[in-house]
Amino acid sequence: MQNKNKIIQLLGIPFTALLSIIFGLLLISFPIGIYIVFETDIGDDINYDYPITHLDIFYNTDFYQSSFDVSIGDVFVILWVFYLGIFVISILGPKQHFLKSISSIISVGKYDVQLNYMFAITKWLSILVLISGLINLIQESFGIITVPPLGDNNLIQFFYVSLAPLLEEFVFRILLVGIPLFALYSGRASVRYFLKCLWTPSSLNILDSKKAIFIIIFVGVAFGFAHIAFSDSWSEGKFAQATAGGVILGWVYLRYGIVASLLIHWATNYFIFAYAYFISQINSVPLETAFFNPLMSTLELLFLSSGILAVCILILNKFYLKKSLI
């Protein structure tokens, strides 16, 4: 056991450094997003005053092009404040603040991700990026290219990628995972307990997790299919990536709650595009070119390195756990 702790302590030095850098980059993305929406010409012929009811999501509804006086900028600020609030919660809780939680890896060679949301978020976000990258690498070797949906306007696209995590986590995690888990594993009926279990499904007494895992995988596949099902969706190559992401988000939701799964999803959308659009605007280059900028490559390398270390530590813990039971 002492050998295990020493190895984790050794791996913990670069691992905690990388998680701290990722945390800092996530934090910096908040002012970057505000700058992009309100201080750049990202929307070309439209800006943040563009009416929300003119968006295609309201097409064929009574709200489409109505006189409802709410702009993209108004809704973006509401989303921004909401995500920032959840971000602060993730730093401070549920039981320890982020820095104290990750420092235990170096100091004693042990850690408990359950003690802090941000620890779980940065760790599993890194693993998600690693798995997504491996899937993309394998698919490209077989000639399967993942093509994103084409957006007519960059401002509207950035607004959509900021809104999507909230809507998709509500549907695919809370409604399709949280409620079935409560129906299967809840031993009592109470509104307060119901809401608590939707917020943190680990509050349920799940002794046999087979049904829970089946639900997570099934919903993960549905999540993957939803990304390619429509004419204006991603290409078919996105299915495997989105399915893997959906399964990981479902597992994170089960273990750590909606705070962790929501912010991981937010990071894969808003965070990535915030940096890409920032590069695009300050260098006056197309978004597609911005993704090949050295800064974006550095971000990818950070996540891949952190993901590899996270997987190594997970495997190490599993190995020593099995060994201790023999």
Amino acid identity at 60: N
pLDDT digit string, tens, across residues 97-152: 888 888 877 776 667 777 899 999 999 999 999 999 999 999 988 888 877 776 77
Percent of the chain with pLDDT over 70: 94
CB proximity list for 9: less than 8 A, separation 6 or greater: 105, 106, 107, 108, 109
* Distances in whole angstroms, Cα of residue 62 to Cα of each of 68, 76, 157, 167: 11, 22, 23, 21
**Mean pLDDT value across the chain:** 88
HSE, side-chain direction, 13 A CA sphere, residue 190: 8
Q: What is the pLDDT of residue 325?
A: 44
CB proximity list for 152: less than 8 A, separation 6 or greater: none
Q: What is the pLDDT of residue 64?
A: 76
How far is 13 from 11, CA to CA, in rounded Å? 6
Structure tokens belonging to residue 178: 């949280």
Q: Hunting for tokens 């965070």 — which residue is that? A: 271
How far is 173 from 256, CA to CA, in rounded Å? 12
Q: What is the pTM of this model?
A: 0.92
* Helix, strand or coil, per DSSP, at residue 121: helix
pLDDT digit string, tens, across residues 246-303: 999 999 999 999 999 999 999 999 999 999 999 999 998 988 899 899 999 999 999 9
* Helix, strand or coil, per DSSP, at residue 19: helix
Q: What is the pLDDT of residue 302?
A: 95
Q: What is the pLDDT of residue 109?
A: 63
pLDDT digit string, tens, across residues 180-192: 999 999 878 789 9
